[in-house]
Chain A
Amino acid sequence: MGLPAGTGVGVRSIWLGLLFASLVGHAGAAQGYLVVVSGLGGDQVHRVRFHDWAVTLLDAARDRLGVPESHTVYLAERPERDPERIDAESTRENVAAELTRLAGEAEPDASVFILLIGHGSYQGDESQFSLPGPDMSAEDFAVLLDRFETQQVAFVNTASASGDFVAVLSGPGRTIVTATKSAFERNETMFCEHFVRAFAEDGADVDKDDMVSLLEAFNYARREVERVYERESRLLTEHAVLDDNGDGEGSVDPDPSAGDGALAQRLFLGLAPGALVATAADDSVLVGLYRRRQELQNGIADLRSRKEAMDPTTYERELELLLVELAQTAQAIREREGGGDGDCD
Chain B
Amino acid sequence: MTRRLWIAVIAELAGLAAAAPRSAAAAQQIVEAQTALRSGRYESAITQFSRLVEREPSSVSVARGLVRALSEIGRYQDAVEVAQEFGRRNHGSVELATSLGEVLFSTGRVQEAERAFRSAFTASDSLTARFNLAVLQYSRGEVDAAMSEFDRFIDYYNRNRGLSSEHLTLVAAAVRYLGVGDEQLYKDALLAYDEAISADPSNLEPRVQVADLFLQKYVGPEALAGFEAVLELNPNHPDALLGLARTRRFNGMPDVMEPVRRSLEVNGNLVAARVFLASLYLESEDYAGAAAEIDRALAVNPASLEALAVKAAMRFLQLDQGGFDETVRQVLSHNPRYGELYNTLAEVSARNRLYEQAADFAARAIELDPQSWRGYALLGINQLRNGLMREGRANLERAFAGDPYDVWTKNTLDLLDMLERYALVSSERFEFVIDRKESDLLALYLTGLGDEAYQRLHQRYGHLPETPIRVEVFPSHADFSVRTVGLVGLGALGVSFGPVVAMDSPSAREPGEFNWGSTLWHELAHTFHMSMSDHRVPRWFTEGLAVLEERHAKPGWGVGVSPAFLAAYRQGRLLPVSQLNDGFLRPSYPEQLGFSYYQASLVCELIEQEHGSDALVRMLRGYGQGRSTAELFTTVLGVDVERFDDTFDQYLADRFAGPLRAISVAEGEGASPHASRDEVAQRARSHPGDFIAQLAMGQILVEEGRGNEAISYLERAKALFPEYAEADSPYWYLAQVYQVQGELERAESELTALTMHNERHYPAYTKLAELREMLGDTAGAAAALEGALFVYPMGAEVHLKLAELYTGLEKWQGAIRERRAVLALDPVDRAEALYQLAKVHYDSGDMSEARRVVLQALERAPNFEQAQMLLLAIHSRNEEAQR
A interface list, Cβ under 8 A from B: 203-210, 219-220, 223-224, 273, 296-297, 300, 304, 316, 319-320, 323-324, 326-328, 330-331, 341-345
Contact = CB atoms under 8 A, between A and B. Distances in A.
A220 B828 contact: yes
Given A207-B860, A300-B859, 4 more contacts: A208-B861, A296-B862, A323-B862, A331-B869
Contact of B861 (A209, A219, A345): A209
A300 B861 CA distance: 10
A204 B873 CA distance: 27
Interface string B852-872: 000100111111111111111
A320 B861 CA distance: 13
Of the candidates A207, A223, A304, A341, the one having the most CB atoms from chain B within 10 angstroms of its own CB is A207
A331 B829 CA distance: 23
B538 to A, nearest CB: 37
Contact of B868 (A297, A304, A330, A345): A330
B874 to A, nearest CB: 9
B284 to A, nearest CB: 37
A206 B871 contact: no
A131 to B, nearest CB: 32
B842 A344 contact: yes
B664 to A, nearest CB: 41
A299 B738 CA distance: 60
A331 B875 CA distance: 14
A74 to B, nearest CB: 28
Nearest to A343: B869
A206 B860 contact: yes
A330 B829 contact: no
Main secondary structure of the interface of B (DSSP, over half): helix
A330 B865 contact: yes
A206 B863 contact: no
A36 B668 CA distance: 67
Contacts, number: 83
B830 interface: yes
15 contacts: A204-B828, A205-B829, A207-B864, A208-B831, A208-B867, A209-B863, A300-B859, A304-B859, A319-B855, A319-B859, A323-B859, A331-B869, A343-B869, A345-B839, A345-B866
Nearest to B863: A209
Interface string B773-804: 00000000000000000000000000000000
B828 A344 contact: no
Contacts of B864: 207-208
Contact of B872 (A297, A327, A345): A327
Given A208-B863, A330-B868, A344-B866, A323 B858 contact: yes
A331 B868 contact: yes
Contacts of A323: 855, 858-859, 862, 868, 871
A266 to B, nearest CB: 15
Contacts of A345: 839, 866
Contacts of A326: 858, 862-863, 868
A207 B831 contact: yes
Nearest to B869: A344
B521 to A, nearest CB: 26
Of the candidates B829, B861, B862, the one having the most CB atoms from chain A within 10 angstroms of its own CB is B862
Ranked nearest first, the 5 interchain pairs of A and B with the lowest CB-CB distance are: A208-B864, A327-B868, A208-B861, A344-B869, A344-B870
Interface residues on B, range: 20 to 34
B828 A206 contact: yes
Contacts of A273: 863
Interface of B: 826, 828-832, 839, 842, 851, 855, 858-873, 875
A96 B252 CA distance: 65
Contact of B869 (A210, A219, A342): A342
Contacts of A207: 831, 860-864
Contacts of A220: 828
B435 to A, nearest CB: 12
B829 A324 contact: no
A206 B869 contact: no
A209 B858 CA distance: 11
B297 to A, nearest CB: 48
Contact of A320 (B829, B855, B863, B867): B855
Contacts of A304: 859
Contacts of A324: 871-872, 875
Contact of A344 (B826, B830, B839, B855): B839
Contacts of A300: 859, 862
Nearest to A210: B863
A190 B371 CA distance: 55
A272 to B, nearest CB: 12
A303 to B, nearest CB: 9
Contacts of B862: 207, 296-297, 300, 323, 326
A323 B862 CA distance: 7
B617 to A, nearest CB: 42
Contacts of A206: 828-831, 860-861
B812 to A, nearest CB: 16
Contacts of B826: 223
Contacts of B828: 203-204, 206, 219-220, 223-224
A271 to B, nearest CB: 14
A327 B859 contact: no
A330 B863 contact: yes
A290 B829 CA distance: 26
A272 B529 CA distance: 65
A326 B858 CA distance: 10
B493 to A, nearest CB: 17
A208 B871 contact: no
Of the candidates B826, B832, B859, B860, the one having the most CB atoms from chain A within 10 angstroms of its own CB is B859
B717 to A, nearest CB: 34
Contacts of B829: 203-206
Contacts of A208: 831-832, 861, 863-865, 867
B437 to A, nearest CB: 9
Contacts of B839: 344-345
A292 to B, nearest CB: 13
Nearest to A273: B863
A341 B869 CA distance: 9
A316 B855 contact: yes
Contacts of B872: 324, 327-328, 331, 344
A200 B864 CA distance: 20
Contacts of B855: 316, 319-320, 323
Nearest to B857: A208
B442 to A, nearest CB: 15
B413 to A, nearest CB: 24
B873 A344 contact: yes
A296 B870 CA distance: 18
Contacts of A320: 851, 855
B227 to A, nearest CB: 34
Contacts of B868: 323, 326-327, 330-331
A203 B796 CA distance: 14
Contacts of A296: 862
A34 B677 CA distance: 57
Contacts of B873: 344
A191 B774 CA distance: 38
Nearest to A320: B855
A287 to B, nearest CB: 18
B869 A327 contact: yes
A273 B839 CA distance: 26
Contacts of A341: 869
A145 B865 CA distance: 39
Nearest to A301: B862
Nearest to A334: B865
Nearest to A342: B869
Given A327-B871, A342-B869, A297 B858 contact: no
A289 to B, nearest CB: 13
Of the candidates B831, B851, B859, B863, the one having the most CB atoms from chain A within 10 angstroms of its own CB is B863
Nearest to A300: B862
A57 B858 CA distance: 29
A211 to B, nearest CB: 10
A223 B825 CA distance: 12
